[in-house]
Amino acid sequence: MTIATPLTHVSSPAAAPASAALELRGITKRFGGHTALEDFTLHVPRGSRTGIIGRSGAGKSTLVRLLSGLDTPDSGELHLGGENLLTLSPAQRRQRQARTGLVFQHFNLLAQRTALQNVALPLEFAGVPKVKREAQARDTLAQVGLSGFEDRYPAQLSGGQKQRVGIARALVTGPELLLADEATSALDPETSASILSLLTRIQQERDLTLIIVTHQMEVVRSATTHVAVLDHGRLVESGETGRVLANPQHATTRALLGAHQPLAELAPGETLQQLTLPALDAATLGRLAALGGRVVEAQPTVIGGRQQVLVWLGVPQHLSADRLLGQLQPQAEEVA
Ligand SMILES: Nc1ncnc2c1ncn2[C@@H]1O[C@H](COP(=O)(O)OP(=O)(O)OP(=O)(O)O)[C@@H](O)[C@H]1O
């Protein structure tokens, strides 16, 4: 059983420190009494494809809003290209953050504009003359495989084609950093794979830094060089993707990998449920037994600075996760 010590850098500690495209230091963001990000520190190497993965509620969207300048942390430092953006005036900060290209889950294309006009929009905002911006938009559409689609409206494009337009729009201003927020979550697996290979090719050809925010380990596995695992607003594990996936140290990483599912231990008629509990005490075990469930495996973990127990349960097939949670309240906090 291992309790991971959160690493603060995605580069290997043994390696010479790579220069950072982006560095977050001790970032905390609260909403009222709720802490969405806590003392979050992350070093994103220049020229890497870094995945940031976490379950629902881990803090991914909060992080994306901070990185894209839509929100400000309560404390901490956000260095882009070696400069702490949080010490700049709002206007300077907006100007610097415009160097980050954003790719969205739901494409965010303007329905009344053609593909070409959508891609040209950031250049229009930047005051680039029409002929020049349309030529640049045409070139960028060609780079994402959409030559011939310039005059189509979003409603005339497939999901994958819309996302290609979204990527072209993010690239047209020549950003140093590309931030893809769940960019393939709305797509079928085949289209998702083609968008990930496009992002990988573009990152390599343009030598930019790509950050992929996702809840899917498959995306991390297929498209990233580095990964950071976010859980309850904290960084719990990070490093080179191959190393982390080959030897995940934290229970959350293992749960996301699905690599640590003791299916072999299940009895006929049982299904596996995974819960995080504050403690595995006699009262909880009693409630479980009354429901016909049993503990298959348990391991200690630390979530949000608190000691917890990650428990795999064999439960009767008719027992839904919701009912299980309801019966174990207040002990159970979540179903993974
Ligand atoms: N504006 C807000 N006001 C209050 N709480 C918020 C706000 N935004 C986020 N939170 C809370 O902060 C935590 C992190 O939310 P966030 O949306 O960043 O998670 P996420 O990892 O993006 O989840 P998902 O994958 O479900 O979108 C959650 O507990 C959420 O309820």
Over 50: is that where the pLDDT of 13 sits?
Answer: no
CA distances to 67, 192, 233, 243 from 11, in Å:
20, 27, 20, 11
Q: Are the C-beta atoms of 324 and 275 separated by less than 8 Å?
A: yes
Range of the domain at 102: 20-250
**Least confident span in 41-45, 283-287, 299-303:** 299-303
Which candidate, 168, 171, 169, 166, places its Cα nearest to that of 183? 166
Please count the structural domains in the chain.
2
Pocket (CB within 6 angstroms of ligand 1): 31, 34, 36, 54, 56-62, 215
**Least confident span in 18-32, 51-65, 163-177, 271-285:** 271-285
Q: Are residues 195 and 283 in the same domain?
A: no
Q: Are residues 245 and 276 in the same domain?
A: no
Over 70: is that where the pLDDT of 68 sits?
Answer: yes
Q: Are residues 219 and 308 in the same domain?
A: no
Residue pLDDT, tens place only, 100-144:
999 998 899 999 999 999 999 999 999 999 999 999 999 999 999
Residue whose CA is at the smallest distance from ligand 1 atom 7: 31
- Average pLDDT over all residues of the chain: 84
Residue 330 falls within a domain, yes or no?
A: yes
Residue 159 falls within a domain, yes or no?
A: yes
Q: What is the mean pLDDT of residues 68-92?
A: 90
| Residue 262: predicted pLDDT | 58
Q: Are the C-beta atoms of 223 and 199 separated by less than 8 Å?
A: yes
Boundary (domain end) residue, out of 197, 226, 250: 250
Boundary (domain end) residue, out of 207, 225, 250: 250
Q: What are phi and psi of 131, to 5 degrees?
A: -60, -45
Q: What are phi and psi of 49, to 5 degrees?
A: -115, 100
- How many other CB atoms sit within 10 Å of the CB of residue 276? 21
Q: Are residues 128 and 167 in the same domain?
A: yes
The domain that holds 54 is classified in CATH as: 3.40.50.300
CA separation for the pair 270, 293 (Å, rounded): 9
Q: Are residues 266 and 170 in the same domain?
A: no
What number does the ligand 1 atom closest to the CA of 230 have? 21
Q: Are residues 81 and 124 in the same domain?
A: yes
Mutate which of 29, 30, 34 to test ligand 1's pocket (most atoms within 8 Å of Cβ)?
A: 34
CA separation for the pair 21, 23 (Å, rounded): 7
Q: Are residues 294 and 318 in the same domain?
A: yes
Whole-number Å distance, alpha carbon 114 to ligand 1 midpoint, is: 33
Q: Are residues 127 and 266 in the same domain?
A: no
For the record, the structure tokens of 233 come out as: 């607003």
The domain that holds 292 is classified in CATH as: 3.30.70
- How many other CB atoms sit within 10 Å of the CB of residue 116? 21
Residue 195 falls within a domain, yes or no?
A: yes
Q: Are the C-beta atoms of 3 and 237 separated by less than 8 Å?
A: no
**Least confident span in 59-73, 231-245, 274-288, 320-334:** 320-334
| Residue 1: predicted pLDDT | 27
